[in-house]
Amino acid sequence: MRFLIDECVGTSVSEYLKSNNHIVFSVFDEWRGATDEELLQKSILENYILITSDKDFGEMIFKSQKKHKGIILIRCQPNNFKQKIIVLTKLLANYADKLENNFVVVTNENVRIIVP
């Protein structure tokens, strides 16, 4: 799969996904300071699923009706790279076929998939 990893998610998640043979664009490593709008555009143009912890993307998608190729919003506790990797591992194992073009909220306890 192709993932664009927002700056707030961290490099450990990027490295984890790369080590599992995913194509990854890390904003932290390659495009620091990019705006949310720029990230959304890049994800659309280059067919990436965006992984973020930034709730502003929910507003962009649902209030402003912005298009996207898929967004994963991570809301885990504790909010550290180890827990993010745990929830993403479970998500990919159980819902990989439902990520594209959907807005997905993943927490320690559950996964909510919002289909446009």
For the stretch 79-102, pLDDT in tens is 999 999 999 999 999 999 999 999
Q: pTM of this prediction?
A: 0.95
- What average pLDDT does range 35-55 have in this prediction? 97
pLDDT attached to residue 110: 95
Kindly report the average pLDDT of the chain as a whole number: 95
Burial of 66 (0-12, 13-18, 19+ CB in 10 A): middle
Residues 6+ apart with CB under 8 A from 53: 6, 8, 9, 73, 74, 75, 79, 84
Name beta bridge partners: 26: 5
Kindly tell me if the per-residue pLDDT of 43 is higher than 90.
yes
At residue 116 the predicted structure's pLDDT band, cuts being 50, 70 and 90, is confident
How many domains does the chain divide into?
1
Residue 70's domain comprises 2-114
Q: Looking at residue 88, what is its pLDDT? A: 97
Q: Is the peptide bond before 78 cis (omega within 30 degrees of 0)?
A: yes
Average pLDDT over residues 47-56: 96
Q: CATH number, domain at 7?
A: 3.40.50
Query: Coil, strand or helix: which one is 75?
Result: coil
The candidate with the shortest Cα–Cα distance to 105, out of 45, 115, 5, 97, is: 115
Q: Write b or e for each residue in 39-55: b if 16 or more Cβ atoms lie within 10 A of its Cβ, otherwise e.
A: bbebbeeeebbbbbbbe
Any idea what DSSP says for residue 97?
G
Q: What is the mean pLDDT of residues 75-79?
A: 93
